[in-house]
Amino acid sequence: MDAVFNAGKFKGRWFSDVAGTETAFCTWAKKQKSPPGYLRSFVEFLKSGSRRGQQSLDAHVVRSSREPRPPRAVDAEVTLKEGTAKSAGIRFDFTMDLELVSADEFDVGPEDANAEVPWTLRQALAARPDGRAAPSANHWRFPASSYIDVLRWLEWNPDFRCRVNGVPSWVLKHVPAFATAAEQVKATAALRLSAATRRLLAELPPAPAPSTPAGSSALSARMLPSAEDLKLDGLGGTLLPFQVEAVQYGLARNGRLLLGDEMGLGKTVTTLALVRHFKESWPFLVVAPAPLCKLWQEHALAWLKEDLKPHDVVLIRSAQDSIPSRARMVVVSYNLISDPKFQRKDDKDFDLVILDECHLLRGNSQRSKACVPLAKKAMRAILLTGTPLVARTQDAYPLLDALFDLCTPTDFAQRYAPSTSSRNQGRSARLNELHVLLGAAMLRRTKENTLSELPAKRRQRVLLDMSPSAEKECDIS
């Protein structure tokens, strides 16, 4: 049975490959009376009578269900000749996987992390001038500009054949460096090209790389408005430099973003400064945990005092409360968001929705079912959380679905569901790519990053609403 050398100078090469090209080594191996373990299997392979160069592909060749036909010079199926190691045209039952690992790079590696990549494919990938070896074993890393070229090269290379799992277009189109590749993938799929035409396309020289410099992130790739163009005059205070940067980022994203700054960096104030630039989308809706609703009302009246009066800010305390027509800001808790008055089906949907502590939207929960449609229908959606890194794959779907025109939950689960292999049991598949997709619309800073910009410690009094029974228990008169 054909196998791969796991030691020695031919480590990583197939027995059949060595048997067809290294005649002197085969002769020497047969003469060994007590060969070591890795060599013993190879000697048994030689004694089994397998033809040199055949590569023992019975378990790897994809058989066609059609009747056999005489091979042609241009056919994809090429008959191997006796004594040769060339296997051009052979289709391996082997799958290579493409995965985004950063905002401007992707990896190529075997779908099964425990599988050994065929030697010919390894050599071809290592020889490409636009790539390099990745930290993971049997993986190679390429820039975003090479995505289409690498994809078609893997699919129709004349020296080997393998199945290829490309990155879905619903992922590519949301990562700026890969947006052009997404359009090309979509256009090619719409043409429904024949196999022969796609094979010819694979032989064309690669397209020139775009002028976008390598290493550009989603933030630097966008044209951010200057600080002078921001409407910061008239606020109830002065924004810190990193808060101004967040407002610029939100404007560049047209008001659809995930602000994941660490707790205590003023996400509420930053968001209010941002929504001030979108007055055409008012009235706007704020959904927050119940203890924070009063805080949103107070901050809005303090920081937007030139734009909002007390009667303009409506705090929904119970399901019996109604929304006045004059309201310009509506604050409601997650406990009440499922009420029909917020799930409107007419043209009165909120054009600007803010979801505070959005990490509470998990999986297929009732909160997710109520909030995600509101954010998807809104022209602008701002999600806030101090803990944007989710623990489970399915918890990321509501956040991404609220911001992007994403796939179905089933497609998302198939792409990122936890691995079932014994080695990676429970670990999310393509975790790096999931973080890239989440980071395509996320801005996150920590206190460590912004320490030099933070002011001295501030002390603030926070007023809490208490029910009459609670006041009685606390002896408050």
CB-based contact 401:415 (threshold 8 Å):
no
Looking at the fold, whether 268 and 127 belong to one and the same domain comes out as: no
CB neighbour list of residue 295: distance below 8 Å, 6 or more residues apart: 268, 462
Digit-by-digit pLDDT tens for the chain (477 residues) are: 677 777 777 776 777 777 877 888 888 888 888 888 778 888 888 887 654 433 333 333 333 343 433 333 333 333 333 333 343 444 445 789 999 999 999 999 998 877 778 888 888 899 999 999 999 888 999 999 999 999 988 887 767 767 899 999 999 999 999 999 999 888 877 666 665 566 566 556 655 544 444 333 444 434 677 767 788 888 989 999 999 999 999 999 999 999 999 998 999 999 999 999 999 999 999 999 999 999 999 999 999 999 999 999 999 998 888 888 899 999 999 999 988 777 665 557 899 999 999 999 987 888 999 999 999 999 999 999 998 766 677 788 999 999 997 888 889 988 988 755 444 444 567 888 998 998 899 999 998 888 888 887 777 777 777 778 887 787 765
Residues in contact with 182: Cβ distance below 8 Å, sequence separation at least 6, in sequence order: 169, 172, 173
Same domain, 105 and 141: yes
Is 6:118 a contact under the CB 8 Å cutoff?
Answer: no
**Burial tier of 372 (Cβ tally within 10 Å: 0-12, 13-18, 19+):** buried
Say how many C-beta atoms besides its own lie within 10 A of residue 21's C-beta.
Answer: 16
Residues 361, 236: one domain? yes
Claim to verify: residue 138 and residue 255 sit in the same structural domain: no
What pLDDT, on the 0 to 100 scale, is given for residue 309? 95
Tokens for 459? Answer: 């002390």
Residue 59 has what DSSP assignment? G
The verdict on 134 and 194 lying in the same domain is yes
| Helix-helix angle 267-275:290-303, to 10 degrees | 50
pLDDT recorded at residue 473: 81
| Residue 426 domain-assigned (yes or no) | yes
Q: Is residue 467 part of a domain?
A: no
Asked whether residue 291 is assigned to any structural domain, the reply reads yes
If we measure between CA atoms, which residue out of 361, 381, 412 comes closest to residue 259?
Answer: 381
Q: Does one domain contain both 198 and 236?
A: no
What is the C-alpha to C-alpha distance for residues 290 and 302, in angstroms, rounded to an integer?
Answer: 20
Contact 15, 45 (CB under 8 A): yes
What is the pTM assigned to this prediction? 0.72
Number of domains in the chain: 3
The domain boundary, picked from 138, 169, 202, lies at 202
CB atoms within 10 A of CB 78: 15
Enclosing domain of residue 161 = 95-202
- Say if residue 190 is in the same domain as residue 332: no
**Residues 243 and 384 grouped into a single domain:** yes
Tokens of 408: 């179905």
Confidence (pLDDT) at 194:
60
The distance from CA 426 to its chain's CA centroid, rounded to whole angstroms, is 19
Q: Are strands 256-259 and 380-384 parallel, antiparallel or unpaired?
A: parallel
What are the DSSP E strand ranges found in 169-261? 256-259
